[in-house]
Amino acid sequence: MMEFDTIAAISTPAGEGAIAIVRLSGSDAVTIGDQVFQGKTTLAQADTHTINYGHLIEPETSDVVEEVMVSVLRAPKTFTKEDIIEINCHGGVVSVNKVLDLVLSSGARLADPGEFTKRAFLNGRIDLSQAEGVMDLIRAKTDRAMNVAVSQVQGRLAEQVRGLRQELLETVANVEVNIDYPEYDADTVTLELLKEKGGAVKDEIDQLLRTAKQGKILREGIATAIIGRPNVGKSSLMNSFVHENKAIVTEIPGTTRDVLEEYVNVRGVPLRLIDTAGIRETEDVVEKIGVERSRQVLQDADLVMLVLNAAEPLGDEDRALFEAMKGMNAVIVLNKTDLSQQIDENEVRELAGSRPVIATSLLQSEGVEELEDAIAHLFFDEGVETGDLTYVSNARHIAQLRQARQSIEDALEAADADIPVDMVQIDITRAWEHLGEIVGENAPDHLIDQLFSQFCLGK
Ligand code: GDP
Ligand code: ZN
């Protein structure tokens, strides 16, 4: 195990809560804890994996700062494989920061973002894809996304990738034997084996890559645009989603105007509603911007919900919107069906093609269930459960899988062209290396630093 100093951070979310936890990890964690803790026994005397009641005191003045429970977790059976103590204190912002200050002035260093997880990785507790899973877990927007992250933390992708690497290694080993004993002329046999194993690995990579689209969706949410003429019910649709599906509102600072993103969870499908500002603007402004703005919004969208007013005939503006979203994933919402119908439904269906047309009365909350069904069907085929599939959702993993796939393809082509087998081996080795980067087995240091710096503080 590597030697590190002792780090500390608040590991519960910022803000008010009933309790908050300050976590320390490193070989001095217990010693530092004892400088500020006063209980029945010292933490050094406490058994591992116990929680100990007592008080935190200011070492110089002996003033009591907080009433606390301190967990003592000794290496190696801890998240970082180092000694860990967790100080459970009252959840107020002031109190938890006071506790953090106290341990920092007693010899701990403030942890960098992601540093606990980084140590877990560096100490061999988890592999890189698991570490990334932890990061996704923190950011997961829906239960489904959470499941993917959890399975990644549990090492599912890593396990599969290791299996593939093993296959490739065996192939390479076989080639080595062939090179070492040239008199045993097994070139053809080796090439046959290489084609067979290489082909099988390639198929499995393809299968993983096919899950990438869904994986990305789970991770980032489906960029969803609600478009339609003024007054058709766009705001009503958004509100109905937001109210019934526990929207998660995320503010992304640092842009010229802070972009307000709204996440809604539709049957486990995370929709990221884009341009909600546009929808919320006063109707006369929307009227002015109209179709032009919709075109812009469409460029960023993975899914379009086109809202039409069933109580009016289809207009040129509606037809223009159909035209603008040609070839895109879309659901047509035929709204205001509680009023007498004026729209030509046949024409709507013709323009919609294979895309679902859902009749709603948002005013009376009708048709919303059907709409949700339609959306879920678009993104998850029936029967596909996140539980039984390894999803690839991380852009870095996808890139490495693609490169590994390419190397195998090169090897297979070379094998077909009767190129000497030791040349073919180079491509197989390259594929093996790309797969290795997914689990961090030959990840360069700067990559590791960059990855872990994306974590929240205290993880
Ligand atoms: P937007 O301009 O497309 O965002 O449309 P809004 O959601 O602001 O709705 C415009 C008007 O239509 C509002 O007065 C809504 O109450 C009304 N409206 C929305 N949905 C329905 C519906 O299903 N039936 C009826 N009768 N009125 C609706
Ligand atoms: Zn509106």
> What pLDDT is stored for residue 138 in this prediction?
61
User: What tens digit of pLDDT does each residue of 361-383 get?
Assistant: 999 999 998 998 898 887 765 43
Looking at the structure, do residues 44 and 104 belong to the same domain, yes or no?
yes
> What pLDDT is stored for residue 85 in this prediction?
96
Last residue of a domain, one of 379, 412, 427: 379
Q: Locate the ligand 1 atom nearest the alpha carbon of residue 279 and give its number.
A: 4
**Residue at 68 is within a domain:** yes
Question: How far, in Å, from the CA of 362 to the mean position of ligand 1?
Answer: 7
The answer, yes or no, to whether any atom of ligand 1 lies below 6 A from the CB of 65, is no
User: What tens digit of pLDDT does each residue of 394-440 get?
Assistant: 778 888 999 999 999 999 998 888 788 778 888 988 999 899 888 88
Domain with 65, as residue range(s), is: 7-126
**Residue at 233 is within a domain:** yes
Burial class (CB in 10 A: 0-12, 13-18, 19+), 155: middle
Q: Locate the ligand 1 atom nearest the alpha carbon of residue 231 and give its number.
A: 2
> What pLDDT is stored for residue 361 in this prediction?
96
User: Does residue 385 surpass a pLDDT of 60?
Assistant: no
**Residue at 147 is within a domain:** yes
Ligand index nearest the alpha carbon of residue 281: 2
CATH of the domain at 43: 3.30.1360.120
> What pLDDT is stored for residue 401 in this prediction?
92
**DSSP structure class, residue 382:** T
Looking at the structure, do residues 262 and 318 belong to the same domain, yes or no?
yes
Hey, how many other C-beta atoms are within 10 angstroms of the C-beta on 319?
Answer: 12
> Using N-to-C axis directions, what is the helix angle for 115-122 and 128-139, rounded to 10°?
160
For ligand 1, pick from 321, 363, 364 the residue to mutate: most ligand atoms within 8 Å of CB.
363
Ligand index nearest the alpha carbon of residue 239: 1
**Residue at 363 is within a domain:** yes
**Residue at 457 is within a domain:** no
Last residue of a domain, one of 86, 109, 126: 126
d(CA 371, CA 360): 8
- First-to-last alpha carbon distance for the chain, in angstroms, is 20
Ligand 1, atom 25, residue with closest C-alpha: 336
Looking at the structure, do residues 62 and 194 belong to the same domain, yes or no?
no
Question: What is the chain's mean pLDDT, rounded?
Answer: 79
**Residue at 360 is within a domain:** yes
**Residue at 445 is within a domain:** no
User: Does residue 286 surpass a pLDDT of 50?
Assistant: no
Query: Between the CA of residue 44 and those of 41, 55, 73, 83, 417, what are the distances in Å?
Result: 8, 15, 11, 11, 67
Share of the chain above pLDDT 70, in %: 72
Looking at the structure, do residues 296 and 358 belong to the same domain, yes or no?
yes
Q: Average pLDDT of 308-333?
A: 92
> What pLDDT is stored for residue 179 in this prediction?
60
User: What tens digit of pLDDT does each residue of 50-82 get?
Assistant: 999 999 999 888 888 889 999 999 999 998 999
Question: How far, in Å, from the CA of 237 to the mean position of ligand 1?
Answer: 9
Looking at the structure, do residues 31 and 151 belong to the same domain, yes or no?
no
Question: How far, in Å, from the CA of 296 to the mean position of ligand 2?
Answer: 18
d(CA 308, CA 298): 17
Q: Locate the ligand 1 atom nearest the alpha carbon of residue 362 and give its number.
A: 23
User: 275 falls in which pLDDT band (50, 70, 90)?
Assistant: low
Looking at the structure, do residues 89 and 172 belong to the same domain, yes or no?
no
User: What tens digit of pLDDT does each residue of 92-105 get?
Assistant: 767 788 899 899 99
Looking at the structure, do residues 115 and 140 belong to the same domain, yes or no?
no
> What pLDDT is stored for residue 181 in this prediction?
60
CATH of the domain at 310: 3.40.50.300
Last residue of a domain, one of 110, 126, 142: 126
User: What tens digit of pLDDT does each residue of 6-47 get?
Assistant: 999 888 765 556 778 899 999 999 999 999 999 999 999 999
Which residues are bridge partners to 39 per DSSP? 54
> What pLDDT is stored for residue 14 in this prediction?
59
Looking at the structure, do residues 409 and 424 belong to the same domain, yes or no?
yes
Around ion ligand 2, residues with a beta carbon closer than 5 Å are 235
User: 109 falls in which pLDDT band (50, 70, 90)?
Assistant: very high
- CB under 8 Å to 157, separation ≥6 — which residues? 129, 151, 208, 390, 392, 397, 438
> What pLDDT is stored for residue 141 in this prediction?
59
Share of the chain above pLDDT 90, in %: 32
Q: Average pLDDT of 442-450?
A: 64
CATH of the domain at 169: 1.20.120.430
The answer, yes or no, to whether any atom of ligand 1 lies below 6 A from the CB of 341, is no
Q: Average pLDDT of 179-206?
A: 77
Question: How far, in Å, from the CA of 235 to the mean position of ligand 2?
Answer: 4
d(CA 347, CA 265): 31
User: Does residue 229 surpass a pLDDT of 60?
Assistant: yes
Task: Report pTM.
Answer: 0.50
Ligand 1, atom 15, residue with closest C-alpha: 233
d(CA 245, CA 363): 17
Q: Average pLDDT of 289-299?
A: 68
Number of domains in the chain: 3
Question: How far, in Å, from the CA of 231 to the mean position of ligand 2?
Answer: 6
d(CA 36, CA 42): 10
- Which range, of 84-88, 173-177, 319-323, averages the lowest pLDDT? 173-177
Looking at the structure, do residues 370 and 246 belong to the same domain, yes or no?
yes
Q: In which element (H, E) is residue 216 found?
A: helix 212-220
> What pLDDT is stored for residue 27 in this prediction?
94
For ligand 1, pick from 236, 289, 306, 317 the residue to mutate: most ligand atoms within 8 Å of CB.
236
User: Does residue 248 surpass a pLDDT of 60?
Assistant: no
d(CA 73, CA 57): 21
**Residue at 388 is within a domain:** no
Residue 62 annotated as lining a ligand binding site: no
Looking at the structure, do residues 111 and 180 belong to the same domain, yes or no?
no
Ligand index nearest the alpha carbon of residue 236: 1
Specify whether the backbone of 402 is left (phi greater than 0), alpha (psi in -120 to 50) or beta: alpha
Looking at the structure, do residues 256 and 306 belong to the same domain, yes or no?
yes
Question: How far, in Å, from the CA of 141 to the mean position of ligand 2?
Answer: 26
Ligand 1, atom 19, residue with closest C-alpha: 233
Residue 129 annotated as lining a ligand binding site: no
Looking at the structure, do residues 259 and 284 belong to the same domain, yes or no?
yes
Question: How far, in Å, from the CA of 344 to the mean position of ligand 1?
Answer: 19
